Chain A
């Protein structure tokens, strides 16, 4: 008998009614429920680590960007001491936004309403007319700073949390071995190529959220135009016979992070007819450099990663996946017809904006050490495939809102989402990394792991 969770909605529905762990089913109701949404804000988004950006966006002291931790607007800034700080963009005086721009540089943020001012680390400077002490006498200045989140930089990515005790290490878990291969592989790391694309979809955040739990299977049908374009191999007519891109090793960790690793040899076969057999790690990397990495940068991989990590990157690299709760990773091979640099490096966050609204934030990267022409191509590849106009994600944006509309129907909302095509954990021979592993055809295991991470946080009152 599974342990019963400490969550009951107003009508008596429990978390176990919504997420059936015996049957691997989830009630469609979860995709549009106001009460559940409020609990998600408290139990997930106020408790776990959230991705906000990259330190390359704010290189100088005073640089800042405005971002959202769910519906809480925050300032992400680099203070005079060089450290990155994240704080609520809410003036403790009368609740006004202290910062009104999406990006900029400011030694201090002065609220335009009554003039309370804050340093770039969030600490309170004072209110105008110092001698009148307009901040009153009940709080010392030390107590009147902007509310701060804890910050952790990982591969330059800026994560923040309201949790007082969750360590970033515990948040990453065994996913680190794999994610290092994407975010921490070069000497100078990643660079964000510009501010993120942002657009709003009329759908609940969990619809793209659970898909980012490495739903490989939808690619075959929803994104069939990828096959037609030859991008994933095969043709539109032979999609279901050849199932390109479906075989590999899927990974999940109990924290809800998931990845799909696809054999480099298979990926390479789509581009050129040279065998990978018998080649050394270095030779393989030279034949198929990871997306965004040039041949000249290959020695950097050996400097920054362990031998096991480089070997995986050269053999069966992680390419797509997600980090719980709302991050999609797409570090993909994307061949260009004109011979330009292949590949796209995108991260998305799906930021909740109400039970029926999500903001799609698309961060686009290149390796900082890559030449300018490679960065240019990487930007274009990412724009062509992902985000606002991306030919892959156009299809998703037309699909997700319709799932949510269905979740409103009195009868429809009790339909369950099925995660019953399960492979089960199986460690391939010679595999080095940790986590639960699902070799072969991509199935529902990773998405179910995403739901179990959701369950764990939501059950914990």
Chain B
């Protein structure tokens, strides 16, 4: 059977946002703390433009996407995550292409943005596969470009799957659900 890419949802079709699993990992538990620490470390690697360090967090089977948001009304008013179209549609190889470009001759991000990623509202649950965890977080990014005194900013929910591999957590899935249907940020030359 061919999958209709235009209508296929990423997983459980009714879930637009938030956690899917009900097997919550409580705040303050060892797993929760380690994952929170990983999110903070990951944000620091990106803010400090240590791309090699960031790529080390990524699983080789990574699926990294950012669907569009669409303003809708009536019976569809909460079905506003459009997964047919995306701002990012990445795998491990394409992320390497992007970080490689930004490390060498891209004019975007040269000079670089100064970014500050704030990660909050972290919720964790166990996936069906042992050693994999759903991690939902809120992301708020402030981005300073050139000598412009006005920052660009973006808010999003990130729905991740982190996998424990040899004692470290690797990012296997990330879906970035931005809040704006028309982005106020002038490009996504930064990672979210």
Question: Which residues of A are interface residues toward B (Cβ below 8 A)?
Answer: 100-104, 106, 193-202, 222-225, 228-229, 236, 337-338, 359, 364, 371-372, 375-376, 379-380, 383-384, 387-389, 391, 393-395, 397-399, 401-402
Contacts and interface: CB of A to CB of B under 8 A. Distances in A.
A394 B108 contact: yes
B89 to A, nearest CB: 5
Interface residues of B, number: 42
B189 A102 contact: no
Most buried by A among B66, B105, B181, B185: B105
Contact of A372 (B3, B84, B88, B104): B3
B85 A194 contact: yes
Contact of A402 (B82, B93, B98, B146): B146
A104 B85 CA distance: 16
B50 interface: no
Contact of B72 (A101, A359, A394): A101
A128 to B, nearest CB: 18
Secondary structure type dominating chain B contacts: loop
B129 interface: no
A369 to B, nearest CB: 14
Contacts of A200: 182-184, 186
B72 A102 contact: yes
A197 B68 contact: yes
Secondary structure type dominating chain A contacts: mixed
B188 A389 contact: yes
A383 B88 contact: yes
B73 A393 contact: no
Interface string B155-177: 00000000000000000000000
B27 interface: no
Given A383-B89, A389-B187, A391-B97, A195 B68 contact: yes
Contacts of A199: 182-187
Given A388-B187, A395-B107, A372 B181 contact: no
B177 to A, nearest CB: 14
Contacts of B66: 389
Given A197-B68, A379-B89, A391-B97, A236 B105 contact: yes
Given A201-B186, A395-B106, A383 B86 contact: yes
B109 interface: yes
B71 interface: yes
Contact of A195 (B70, B76, B89, B185): B70
A224 B187 CA distance: 18
Contacts, number: 135
30 contacts: A100-B73, A101-B71, A102-B70, A104-B73, A104-B74, A194-B85, A195-B85, A197-B68, A197-B183, A198-B181, A200-B183, A202-B186, A224-B107, A225-B101, A225-B104, A225-B106, A225-B107, A236-B104, A383-B88, A388-B188, A389-B88, A389-B188, A391-B97, A391-B106, A394-B106, A395-B106, A398-B186, A398-B187, A398-B189, A402-B146
Given A194-B68, A372-B5, 17 more contacts: A101-B72, A103-B72, A193-B85, A199-B184, A225-B101, A225-B106, A236-B105, A338-B93, A364-B85, A372-B2, A379-B85, A379-B86, A383-B87, A394-B106, A394-B187, A397-B108, A398-B186
A194 B6 contact: yes
Contact of A380 (B2, B74, B89, B105): B89
A392 to B, nearest CB: 9
Contacts of B146: 402
Given A201-B186, A388-B188, A401-B186, A228 B105 contact: yes
Contacts of A236: 104-105
Interface in B53-89: 66, 68, 70-74, 76, 82, 84-89
B4 interface: yes
Given A193-B84, A199-B185, A391 B72 contact: no
